[in-house]
Structure formats: C-alpha cells, structure tokens
Amino acid sequence: MKAGVLKETFPGERRVALVPGNVVQLEKAGFEIWVEQGAGDSAGYPDESYTNAGARIAQRENLRDIDVLLQVRSLGANPEHGLTDLDLLSPGGYVVGTCDPLGNPAAIEQVAGLGLNQFSLELIPRITRAQSMDVLSSMATIAGYRAVLLAASELPRIFPLLMTASGTLAAARVFIIGAGVAGLQAIATARRLGAIVQAYDLRPACREQVESLGAKFVELELEADESEDKGGYAKQMGEEFYQLQRELMAEVVAESDVVITTAAIPGRPSPLLVTADAVGRMEPGGVIVDLAAERGGNCELSEPDQRVVREGVVILGPTNLPSEIPYHASQMFSANITRFLLHLAENGAIELNMDDEIIAETLVAHGGDIPHVRIREILDLPALPESPGKEEEVPAEESGPEEDDRDPPAAEDPDDDPGKEV
C-alpha cells in the first residue's frame, strides 16, 4: 500500500506529517512511502534524508496513485487548499491527519462525497493505549513552551530574580489559565526561566499537577464538578458560571506581568475569561498570550494572529505555534501518525475494525457516509441504523476506567495532554 506525504498547502504551515526517522518502521509494516519533493524542507528534513531512509521522492503530479495520504492539515483544517490535495486520491483512498471535524463538519461531508475514508487525529480517544497517537497533546506541548518564549520576548522585564551590584531585580509574575497539556508545559517553561508562577483550572484534580511543577494553584470559589466530560475533555459551562469566574479571576490577572490562557473547548467558541476591564487593570508592559484565539479567544481583546496593544498591555493571539518550531513539532506529529498507522494496518493493508475504540472514534468519513455519531449530530443527520443482531454498546465516551488515565508532563520531560483543552 502506497502512502504519500505532501508539502503542506495551508498558509504558513511549516510542519511535515512524516519525518525520515519513521519511514523504516512503516516500510517494514508493508507501506511504500512516497514523499513530495521538498515536503520536509521547511521543517528541516531535506529530500536526501528521506531517500536515505528508503522513501521515494516525486513531484506532486506523480503521486496520484497513492492509497493513503498523510497530512498535518487535511481538508477541514485546511479549508482553502485542502480539496486540491484530495485530487491525488481515488475513491476508497484514505486520508489521515487533522481535519477540524467538530469545527468544520461540512468539510467532512465533502470528503465523504468523494468516496474517501478520512481519519481525524484530533479525535484520538483519551485512553492509555492511545497516548502514543495523541497529536493534540503533542502539539499542545509545543504551544505551551512557545507561548512562554513569546511572552518573554515581549515583556520589558526579565523572568528570573536577579541580585546584582546594581540592585535586586524582581522575578516576573506569570499566571497560567488552564492546566491541560499546554498549560502544564507553560508552567514548567516559565518556572525554568525563573518566574513566579500561578495557575488556575476548573478541575480541582489539577492542583497536584500544578504544584508538582513548582507553581501555586489559584483557588476560586466556584462549583466546577461538571467541568470535564467522561473522555477528559473540557465541557462548556453556563454564562452565569463564566461571569463569576471572570470577576474572581480579574484580581489575579491585575497583579500579573504575563497571562497565558489555554482554555479551549473542541468544536465550540472559546470561553471568555479575561475581559477588557481586567486587561486595563494590568500594569503597562504586561503581556497576554491567548492560545485559544483561533475560536474567539479567552481574552476579550485578542485577535487571531495579531499583536494588539491596549493601555500598554500587549495581547498576542497565535493560532499555530507548533509551526514555529517545525523540526520537533514534525518529529512528534510523525511519531503519533506512525503509531496510528501501525495500529490501523496489518501487513500494509488497512483493517477497519469498528469494535476498536481508536478506529471507531477517529473514522469520520467512510463508504460515502459519515459514521461518526457526534459529527452526524452536529450536521443534523439521522442516526445510522444498527447492524442486525448487534447488541447495544456503551458509547466510547461513557466507557471507561482507562480513560483520562495519562500521567501529566514532568517539568523536565513533558509528555502532553490538547487541547482538548489546550
């Protein structure tokens, strides 16, 4: 079975879906790897490194007979150019990558209409045996790290406490909102730079993780027992809840030099957590990095991929930080997608075992239809008929003692959790 790796067509995307280090694994499993000329250049992986690993290099037009397309951003996550990429596949072909199925479900209908099979890596279930395939967690690790570096470059202060002959320089005060993978990585990075770090999360269970990284856990007088679903994803709360949360959080924001927000809900607008009034209470020179800016942002003043300055406070709204560190982001993504393919295929042939939770939860287009229950609900499609004689099963998100069973990233060797809440 031929697997093709394209040069990403999404504007500004520098990552590549497969790095040379994983080619041998897939070839041993029966895949024949074809790579578009120059696909890895922007990530630091030249064509020669792929050929040395056993891959074939070809021009895009010569990749039309591939069976599996491996992408960082497939149609849905790449709305402008993603459809052109799919022209390389024939009906029955497979697309494996991120495709924003909950945010852009109409794109999934397009893929299904082409007779293609599409796997969404954003929907990897949070179970122990799927940890190595979790691209959202991997990319959240990169984003959390990079967010702190962006803040440090904008802040007119240094992060660590310094005692010099010229006097003592106070450490920067950093507030992290959201203790998912990105938040935990941001905490670890800010602490390594010497900042005084506080963090807040709706989930009380995050306290131990936050404190283990050397940060102070901020407690707000809120009832948040229902803030997390069975799959470990952040849930949307009511507006009354968020209003109270904003009011209580404003005091912590006001006393911070840097605020990094990471609260994202898959397929829904990001909750507003930092108001314009709260921004106005920060000292001039303060910095906010809003990692949820792509879906409206956690900060009222943030704009996607823009640098906004209000009352002396800089607000950044980056939407693709992993692409700014493409070498290691590609390495992590490639490891995830390789593990997924090895799980999916037997002797180079893809086996669709729908009793496998990993396959069932990630397959969003198949046989000209959309088998994924959640996406069908978003699109207001009728429920699929049950197979004759099939016993009623507990939905994946309701099953499990093994769900959300992953260890948090360590301060020096982070592993990641995306963002699901970012």
Which residues, 6 or more positions from 263, have their beta carbon under 8 angstroms from its beta carbon?
Answer: 177, 178, 234, 270, 271, 273, 292, 298, 421, 422
Report CA torsion sign: 182, 188, 193, 195.
positive
* Residue 90: C-alpha distances to residues 93, 111, 321, 362 (Å): 6, 11, 33, 21
Active-site position among 173, 209, 233, 290: 233
State how far the Cα of 339 lies from the Cα of 351, in Å rounded to an integer. 15
Is 355 part of the annotated catalytic residue set? no
Our answer to whether residue 233 is catalytic in this structure is: yes
Catalytic residue flag (residue 71): no
Q: Any catalytic annotation for residue 209?
A: no
Which residue among the candidates 74, 110, 120, 131 is catalytic per the annotation?
131
270 secondary structure, DSSP code: P
Check 14, 15, 60, 126 and give the catalytic one.
126
DSSP 257: S
Radius of gyration of the chain (CA): 22
Give the DSSP H or E segment for 361: helix 357-362
Q: What is the DSSP letter of 1?
A: -
Out of 71, 137, 209, 302, pick the active-site residue.
Answer: 137
Q: Of 67, 85, 134, 257, which one is the catalytic site residue?
A: 134
List the alpha helices (DSSP H) in 174-258: 181-192, 206-212, 239-254
50 in active site: no
CA distance 20 to 46: 9
Supply the residues annotated as catalytic.
Answer: 126, 131, 134, 137, 233
